Structures are given as structure tokens and as C-alpha cells.
């Protein structure tokens, strides 16, 4: 497994990416390429399941990066067929350090009418209650993943075929789910009624593709057709093409706004908008809301770069790469001593001293989570001779944990949950600290009037504490949901 690094540990992490192909020879190879493009959504482990009429269902699940596992001919030859799905993952917050290969998706189940495999991006917020119920009724779980509940619910359904069983199962599920699944002949995609997590449809030759993001369509040369709508299920076969169903009650869309801020790759398209352009717009809004006199605007690489460019363009303050990221410190790097480990961020980032010395510096980052990395970066900038350091953050304060598929620290570990902005500025030791407002973020993603307070257009629970789906499991454990105003 890739070891964690201090720089990355202070970022919110998406937990999964999903990809599926039907109608292409050696489909698993296309899935491997798609997963490689989605590696930013999960770097701990990956898996692929394929189907071939001659050999049946075949699967491979491995820890580590896609490039280190699913590029080997000896492995890919064991995954024949024109239909395959895949998954990359992080472990959930509750299972850090306890991950077993049995937790790696896709999951497979053999039913009376044939087998089915499923890969899930998101988080089931009533998984504990479902798991308890299923175990009491005789189900035997093989993993600690909430996603396995879907397979057991399908197995217990009395519906006549796998597609209907999946509909039946997902109606019992609460929370966020973008699912890619497969039977012997069908590729299936489903988004939860709120559409919290992304899922898109593509086409390549005579084949069809489902993916978490459009950037993974690009890598295999597939044409982006459209997004799967919130609450929609698509069933795809070579014979009939794409069939669309709407098995859930219609609800207002609540797409995760943090996908625009950080999770999705900047070369993806979300809601018809370029992620890169949206992040540049966020920087422009931030410059309008939080101007400051300075000499240079620097991104905290790499996620702060588009917003820093936007801030520079709007403010007229020159943009500069004041911090350089070491792109070659991969997972094979060995940290042999405590002294080396304590170098922390310096192993990953280095200050461009010639650009920083004597300057008033604006540092633009996507978020502040625990604040530990921000403090270290500030120290590096000051050590390089900066006159002033001003932090500008391209998202509102992250004060609440996410329960919809994002690995978030407990609330008491989030800096914004225990401090106001002035206290955070003092804790970070910077000359000024400003976050984009929630309204400003909404304007940047295309909502000209800002946030609709009575019915927000996105899921922004990590900023507002307003959860569109009650986190049932966490409430059962004692989590205090924000009271309605």
C-alpha cells in the first residue's frame, strides 16, 4: 500500500472511483486505463471484474497503484471478455490500518439467475442498521465495507431478475451512491436520488463506458455523452444500447460542491462546466471578497493552482510558482529515521527562494482541514525570506465531517470546528487569513444569485453542517447534527 505523507494527510480524500466498459474486446484493459485516470480518487487499492462466456466471471484485486498492478500482461490475461468494471479506493476513516484484500471492490455475488459484480463510490449512511438486520437474518459478510450490504440486499430480494433486485436493494439504502455493476450481459450504472457523487456515460466505437469522471473517458478516447441523472439507472447491452430507468422518488439534486473545489481532476467536466475554469472563477471571487496588498500570488501545489491563477488575474498581482512540488517522491520513498520523518512537508514541497525573498506573498490553497500542513508551509515561506504571508482559501471553512464518501477527520480534529477565522489566523501564524464565502463559492460554480438558503443547490454539509440525508449510523453513535435555524 502507498504510505501516507504529511502533505497529503492534511487533505480531504475521496474514497472511490468507478469505471465500466461493455462491448469492447479486452474490456479489462480499457478499465485499467480508466482507473489509472481516476487514481486521484483512491490510491490504496484497486480491483477489476470481467466476464467472458468461455471462462465466466474473473476478478483481480490488488493493493497499490493501478500502474503497478494492472499493467502486467500476466494479470490482464486472466481478465478476458468484452464486459468489465473496476474500482479504486481509499479505506474509510473507521478502517484505517485494518484494510484487508476482502474489502477491495468490485464485490461479486452469485444469484439464482446468474452472477453480478458491483463497484460503489459514496457512503451508505444507514449501513450499520442494514448490516445488523442482514446478519440477524442469516447473511454472512466477507468484508467490512458498507458496499457489501447492497449485494446481500440483492440476494434477499424476491424480484425476478438482477436489475430489479438492484433497484429493490438500492431503495433500502440511504446516503450517497454512484454504482457501476455488471451481469453476464449488462453494464449498469446508478446514482442516488440526490446525485451526490458523479457518474458519466461515454461511447467508444461500438462500446459504452461508465465513469466517475470525464477525464477517464479521455484516456481511452471515448466520447462524453452525458451525465447520469440523479436517481437514474442505466442498463446497457450491446444489443439494446442504453435503457434508462428512474426507480426512486424524485428529489432536488444535491451534488457535492467539493467535487468542484478539489476532488475532481481539473481536466474533467462537471455539470457542463470545466472544473479548471470553475476553480479559476473561485480564485476570482476570492480576490473580490478578500483583497490584500501583496507582491506575488503563489499556489499551494497542485490543487491550489487554478484558484491562484484566478486570484492573480482578478487582482492584477503577479502569479508565480513560489512553491515547487517534488513529483518524483513516490510510494517507494523510504523514511528511515525520525529526523527524516520530521521533515514532513519539505520532502514533498520546496520553496523557490529567488521569487519569495523580501516579498509579500499570497498563498492560495483549496482548503484548511487540520491546519498542520498550512503551518509548515507558512514556516517554509518565512524561512525563505518572505516579508509577509497571507493565506487565501478557495473554499469556506471546513467545520463538519462528510458522511457521503469522503474521508474526513472527526469534527473535533477540524480546525474550523473549534476556532473562528481570527483564531485560525493566529494559530497558523500568518499576517491574514480569508476564506471564500459560501455565497461566493456558489457564484463561482455558476449560481449567479449565490446559495439558496432554504434549499441549497448542492451538498455543502462540510461547510454548513446541513446534511441532505441524515447520517443515521453516526447519529446512533452520538454524533450531534446541527440544529435547524
Flag whether 477 is in a domain.
Answer: no
Q: How far from 51 is each of 59, 119, 221, 404, CA to CA, in Å?
A: 9, 15, 22, 30
Spatial distance between the Cα atoms of 21 and 27, rounded to a whole number of angstroms: 6
Flag whether 364 is in a domain.
Answer: yes
Spatial distance between the Cα atoms of 268 and 273, rounded to a whole number of angstroms: 9
Flag whether 155 is in a domain.
Answer: yes
Cell of 235: 442498463
Flag whether 309 is in a domain.
Answer: yes
Flag whether 367 is in a domain.
Answer: yes
Q: Round to the nearest angstrom and report the end-to-end CA distance of the chain.
A: 44
Domain identity same for 248 and 287: no
pTM value is 0.92
Residue 480: what pLDDT? 86
Domain identity same for 361 and 401: yes
Q: 293 lies in which domain range?
A: 278-448
Domain identity same for 332 and 217: no
pLDDT in tens, 54-103: 999 999 999 999 999 999 999 999 999 999 999 999 865 444 445 689 99
Residue 325: what pLDDT? 85
Q: What is the pLDDT along the chain (485 residues), one digit of tens a residue?
A: 333 444 445 677 667 999 999 999 999 999 999 999 999 999 999 999 999 999 999 999 999 999 999 999 999 999 999 999 999 998 654 444 456 899 999 999 999 889 999 999 999 999 999 999 999 999 999 999 999 999 999 999 999 999 999 999 999 999 999 999 999 999 999 999 999 999 999 999 999 999 999 999 999 999 999 999 999 999 999 999 999 999 999 999 999 999 999 999 999 999 999 999 999 999 999 999 999 999 999 999 888 999 999 999 999 999 999 999 877 654 433 444 545 544 556 667 889 999 999 999 999 999 999 999 899 999 999 999 999 999 999 999 999 999 998 888 889 999 999 999 999 999 999 999 999 999 999 999 999 999 999 999 999 999 999 999 999 999 988 898 886 55
Q: How many CB atoms lie within 10 A of CB 238?
A: 16
Domain identity same for 131 and 231: yes
- Length of the chain in residues, anyone? 485
C-alpha torsion 80→19→166→242, nearest 10: -90
The catalytic residue among 16, 256, 459, 462 is 16
Domain identity same for 309 and 222: no
Domain identity same for 67 and 212: yes
Residue 344: what pLDDT? 56
Cell of 22: 461493455
Last residue of a domain, one of 186, 221, 254: 254
Domain identity same for 428 and 314: yes
Last residue of a domain, one of 220, 254, 288: 254
Catalytic, 298? Answer no
Domain identity same for 227 and 312: no
Number of domains the chain contains: 2
Domain identity same for 92 and 230: yes
Residue 433 sits in a domain of what CATH number?
3.40.50.2020
Residue 178, H or E segment: strand 175-182
Flag whether 391 is in a domain.
Answer: yes
Domain identity same for 238 and 290: no
Flag whether 177 is in a domain.
Answer: yes
Residue 108 sits in a domain of what CATH number?
3.60.20.10
Flag whether 266 is in a domain.
Answer: no
Domain identity same for 193 and 59: yes
Residue 188: what pLDDT? 98
Domain identity same for 206 and 318: no
Q: How far from 341 is each of 5, 29, 244, 331, 472, CA to CA, in Å?
A: 9, 37, 52, 14, 39
Amino acid at each position: 500500500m502507498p504510505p501516507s505523507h504529511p502533505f497529503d494527510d492534511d487533505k480531504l480524500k475521496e474514497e472511490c472511483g468507478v469505471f465500466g466498459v461493455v462491448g469492447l474486446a479486452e474490456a479489462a484493459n480499457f478499465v485499467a486505463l480508466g482507473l489509472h485516470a481516476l487514481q486521484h480518487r483512491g490510491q490504496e487499492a484497486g480491483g477489476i471484474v470481467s466476464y467472458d462466456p468461455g471462462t465466466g466471471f474473473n476478478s483481480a484485486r490488488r493493493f497499490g497503484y493501478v500502474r503497478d498492478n494492472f499493467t502486467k500482461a500476466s494479470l490482464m490475461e486472466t481478465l478476458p471478455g468484452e464486459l468489465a468494471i473496476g474500482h479504486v479506493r481509499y479505506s474509510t476513516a473507521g478502517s484505517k490500518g485494518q484494510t484487508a484484500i476482502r474489502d477491495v471492490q468490485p464485490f461479486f455475488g452469485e444469484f439464482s439467475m446468474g452472477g453480478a459484480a458491483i463497484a460503489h463510490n459514496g457512503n451508505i449512511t444507514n449501513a450499520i442498521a442494514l448490516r445488523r438486520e442482514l446478519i440477524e437474518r442469516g447473511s454472512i459478510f466477507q468484508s467490512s465495507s458498507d458496499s457489501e450490504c447492497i449485494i446481500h440486499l440483492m440476494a434477499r430480494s424476491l424480484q425476478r431478475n438482477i436489475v430489479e433486485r438492484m433497484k429493490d436493494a438500492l431503495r433500502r439504502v440511504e446516503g450517497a451512491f454512484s454504482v457501476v455493476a455488471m451481469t453476464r450481459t449488462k453494464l449498469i450504472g446508478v446514482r442516488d436520488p440526490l446525485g451526490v457523487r458523479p457518474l458519466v456515460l461515454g461511447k467508444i466505437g461500438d462500446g459504452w463506458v461508465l465513469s466517475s469522471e470525464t477525464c477517464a473517458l479521455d484516456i481511452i478516447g471515448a466520447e462524453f455523452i452525458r451525465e447520469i441523472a440523479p436517481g437514474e439507472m442505466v442498463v446497457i447491452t450491446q444489443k439494446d444500447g442504453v435503457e434508462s430507468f428512474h426507480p426512486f422518488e424524485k428529489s432536488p439534486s444535491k451534488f457535492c460542491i467539493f467535487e468542484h473545489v478539489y476532488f475532481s481532476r481539473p481536466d474533467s467536466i462537471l455539470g457542463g462546466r470545466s472544473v479548471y475554469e470553475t476553480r479559476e472563477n473561485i480564485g476570482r471571487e476570492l480576490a473580490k471578497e478578500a483583497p490584500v496588498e501583496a507582491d506575488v500570488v503563489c499556489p499551494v501545489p497542485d490543487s491550489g493552482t487554478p484558484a491562484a491563477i484566478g486570484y492573480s488575474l482578478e487582482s492584477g498581482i503577479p502569479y508565480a510558482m513560489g512553491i515547487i512540488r517534488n513529483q518524483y517522491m513516490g510510494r517507494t520513498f523510504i523514511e528511515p529515521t525520525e529526523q527524516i520523518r520530521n521533515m514532513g512537508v519539505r520532502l514533498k514541497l520546496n520553496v523557490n527562494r529567488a521569487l519569495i525573498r523580501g516579498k509579500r506573498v499570497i498563498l492560495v490553497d483549496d482548503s484548511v482541514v487540520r491546519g498542520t500542513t498550512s503551518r509548515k508551509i507558512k514556516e517554509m515561506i518565512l524561512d525563505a525570506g518572505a516579508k509577509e504571508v497571507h493565506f487565501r482559501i478557495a473554499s469556506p471553512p471546513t467545520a463538519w465531517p462528510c458522511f457521503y464518501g469522503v474521508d474526513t477527520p472527526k469534527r473535533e480534529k477540524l480546525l474550523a470546528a473549534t476556532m473562528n477565522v481570527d483564531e485560525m489566523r493566529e494559530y497558523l501564524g500568518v499576517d491574514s487569513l480569508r476564506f471564500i464565502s459560501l455565497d461566493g463559492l456558489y457564484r463561482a460554480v455558476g449560481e449567479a444569485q449565490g446559495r439558496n438558503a432554504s434549499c441549497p443547490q448542492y451538498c455543502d454539509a462540510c461547510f454548513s453542517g446541513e446534511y441532505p440525508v441524515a447520517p443515521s449510523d453516526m447519529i446512533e453513535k452520538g454524533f450531534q447534527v446541527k440544529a435547524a435555524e
